[in-house]
Every structure is written in C-alpha cells, then in structure tokens.
Chain A
Amino acid sequence: VYGRLKLKAISEAIRVVPHFPKPGIMFQDITTLLLDHKAFKYTVDIFVDRYRHMNISAVAGVEARGFMFGPPIALAIGAKFVPLRKPGKLPGGVISEEYVLEYGTDCLEMHVEAVQPGERVLVIDDLVATGGTLSAAISLLERVGAEVVECACVIGLPEVKGHCKLNGKPLYVLVEPRQ
C-alpha cells in the first residue's frame, strides 16, 4: 500500500516556480524532490512495484529529466535503459521523430538498435502536459517494432489522460501539479 502519505510526501517535495519559462506558467520543479532522499526513493519504489512483474525489458527516458527517474527504475527491474535525446547528441545510427510545440517543432532521437522488435518498453518522463513528447517517444519505439506497455510520469494534469495524445497507450501518473 503506497499510502496517501507517500504520495503526499512526493507532491509536497515538488516546488512550483511561477512564470517559468514564461509568464503564466507554474513550473513544476522536481529538483526539490531529488533533494529529498526519502521522497525520491518513494517515487522510484512506486514505479518499480508497478512494473517489476510486467516483463518490461527496456525503460526509455526522455532527455533530460527522464534520465533522472528512468535509470533507477530500469536497474531495479533488470531492464535496460534507453535515452531518448535531443537531435545530434546520440552518436551512431539513430532514428528521429519530429513533434509539435506551441510554436514550431522539436525532434527526439533514439539509437536504431537500442530496442528489438517485440520488446516491452516503459516510457518515462518527469511530467506530461500535452503529451507531444511522449507521443513522439511512442512513435520511435513502435517504428522499431517495440511494444510500449505504458507511459509513466511523476506529474500530470488530472484531465490529461483523456486529452493526451498518447496513441492510445496507457498513462500512469503519481501526482497532479501544485499551484
């Protein structure tokens, strides 16, 4: 039983920074969660408990905050960790997926041989907003024949599950954004 207390500790460890990166945005800052060893451990443990028996062989984390949560989960469940990166960072053969931002587009890349067809993969990021980045991550993995089992985020809007563009994939979120 994770308990409301653990989720409460996680939620309260997240700092809200108003008007970052621009006015009107209440930025959910997980760096304070990382400073709280107990709450950070709760976070990882909740994900690990959920995924350890789901035969997941790879955890794909979105650069850069997904890199902080993905590896501890991967290590605990015996899965490999696959970084999904901004363009030009990964050496060697990559595939790219473009996705839409509020203004313009961005791009996510993955090593072509990181994941094999049929592998069961978990996608992780710190927060889901529109789902654009996660959707690009799912596309990358499906293009190489992997099966995305679920997307997991520490923070997500409660209504995002309905409106999120996640290609029909389930989304698992621990806490809502704070004000």
Chain B
Amino acid sequence: MNALTGNSLKISRVNIVSKKFQRHSPSGNSVTLKSPNTSTNFQPIRATVTGGADSGETHSTVLSTESARDQLRPDMAASPDVTDGRIAGISAAIRVIPDFPKPGILFQDITTLLLDPKAFKDTIDLFVERYKDKDISVVAGIEARGFIFGPPIALAIGAKFVPIRKPNKLPGEVISEEYSLEYGTDKMEMHVGAVQAGERALVIDDLIATGGTLCAAISLLERVGVQVVECACVIELADLKGRDRLGDRPLFVLVSSI
C-alpha cells in the first residue's frame, strides 16, 4: 500500500504513528506519508547544541564571554535525559492527524497535549529547567502556537514575552522580515522597542519543520542586536532539515520525529 497510489492508509487516532516514513515537504508543519509502517518508531529526543558544546566553548556568535551562562554544558547540551519519563508522556499526548491540511500530510497536533495538564506542565517544566539560569531576558513566541508555550516559560524564568506576529496584527510601529513559503512569501513582524540590543533571547514555537519561520524570527531579533541564545520547539520534523537551516543557531526540541 502506498499513499501515492491512492490506497489510503488507515491511521487510528493514536498518538504517535509511522514517524519513520515521511519525506520532505516544503510547506512547513507537514510531512508526507510515503509508505505505511506497522511499527511506531520515534526518538523521544534528538536535540544537539551545535558548535562545540562538548568542548565547552561558547557557541554564541555575539560578544559574550565564555561565562557559565553561555555554555550549555555537555550534560545539558545534548538533550533532555532520554530516560526522563516526562518525555514519553509528552510524546504520547501529541496527536497525529492524517490528511491535514491536505491529503497525504500527517499533521502534528499539540492541542491534545494542552488537554493533558500533567503533560503540558511537564513540557513547560523541561524548558524552564533548561533556561532558568541562562540570563535570558526575552522569550519570543511565534504566532500562534508559540503564544501558548512562550508566556508560561517567560513567567517562570522572569523574562518578558514578545509575540512575533503575522502582518498587520501588531498595532504599533513594527519591523518586518519576509520569508519563503512553498509558493510565494510571508512576513512576520515584531514591535519596535520590544527588545533592546544586547538582550539574550529564546525563540519558541510548537514545531520546527523547514525552519523558515524560526529563521525569520531570529533575523528580526538579530537585526536589533539581540543575541538569540537558542530556539526551542516541542517537536522537530527531522526529515525537513530545519536544524540545518538554522545553521549554528542552537536548537532544542523535546520530541523528534524521523
């Protein structure tokens, strides 16, 4: 059976399905089912901090010295502990919806995670534990699902929350960054004055696919002199190579689908 030949794959509404068989789709937050898989196979975590965390060097590109806060230590850098029971609960709470937004695409739906108070809390706690002592003063969340995860993290670590929005939503003066879609371009905006040069920021979204929106958000922040310490997502669609698109910007995810 193959989705491409029109035979539909019956996917029961369980939480993690067929992560192995997904191919590149440039449209973001979507993967295309290539062929069925009878076993589930996902990696709870596959996050690495690129750029030499193991060597203890700072991987930030800006001016900061190699202080403790800049280093994501090897024990923290790689990923949350794969044996952390919280990760399994988080992963299990994410629902995969076939054929959304169009046929052949498996959509990673985090709304079921939000319906599970323990799993949602664990998600936030995992991020807060990682960032609370990193002198992060800004959490930037990407519209709209980044607005769900960003504020609880910001409140817990004492940072401000900055919404990165679709065009024409923010009322005040904005700076914009255009980015590519499968067809055409889109734009994201941030309020002028929301952040100051030299601030240390975390960028958050529910999921990284191609990395296009995250890159645009990073650009917005870097253009005003902010240091993006890390990008954080609940889910990574590893096949779409968003991590590569981020280059040397660190990425931390909780659940990675192959």
Contacts and interface: CB of A to CB of B under 8 A. Distances in A.
A111 interface: yes
A34 B161 CA distance: 5
Interface in B72-119: 95, 97, 100-101, 107, 109, 111, 114-117
A81 B191 contact: no
Contact of B117 (A17, A31, A74): A74
Given A67-B144, A81-B148, A91-B107, A35 B97 contact: no
Interface stretch (B54-62, B150-158, B225-233, B243-251): B150-158
B161 A68 contact: yes
Identify the interface centre among A29, A63, A71: most chain B CB within 10 Å of its CB. A71
Identify the interface centre among B115, B171, B172: most chain A CB within 10 Å of its CB. B171
B204 interface: no
A21 B117 contact: no
B155 A41 contact: yes
A138 to B, nearest CB: 19
B131 interface: no
Contact of B152 (A20, A27, A75): A75
Interface in B155-178: 155, 158-163, 165, 168-172
B203 to A, nearest CB: 15
A89 B160 contact: no
B104 to A, nearest CB: 14
B171 A37 contact: no
A40 B172 contact: no
Contacts of B150: 68
A29 B171 contact: yes
A34 B95 contact: no
A91 to B, nearest CB: 4
Interface in A15-43: 15, 17, 20-21, 27, 29, 31, 34-37, 40-41
A117 interface: no
Contact of A80 (B100, B116, B143): B116
Nearest to A63: B144
Contacts of B121: 75
B127 interface: no
Given A35-B161, A36-B160, A79 B155 contact: no
Contacts of B100: 91-92
Nearest to A35: B160
B252 interface: no
Interface residues of B, number: 39
B155 A89 contact: no
Contact of A34 (B117, B143, B162): B162
Contact of A89 (B144, B169, B172): B144
Interface residues of A, number: 38
A17 B154 CA distance: 25
Nearest to B141: A68
B126 interface: no
Contacts of A71: 114, 120, 148-149, 151-152
A111 B171 CA distance: 30
A79 B120 CA distance: 10
B115 A92 contact: no
Contacts of A17: 171-172
A82 interface: yes
Interface string B15-33: 0000000000000000000
A68 B151 contact: yes
A37 B111 contact: no
Given A37-B155, A75-B152, A82-B111, 17 more contacts: A27-B171, A29-B171, A31-B162, A34-B151, A34-B161, A40-B154, A41-B155, A64-B165, A68-B151, A71-B120, A72-B152, A80-B116, A80-B117, A81-B114, A81-B115, A91-B97, A92-B95
Interface of A: 15, 17, 20-21, 27, 29, 31, 34-37, 40-41, 44, 63-65, 67-69, 71-72, 74-75, 78-83, 85, 88-92, 111, 114
Ranked nearest first, the 6 interchain pairs of A and B with the lowest CB-CB distance are A91-B100, A17-B171, A91-B97, A67-B147, A20-B171, A34-B161
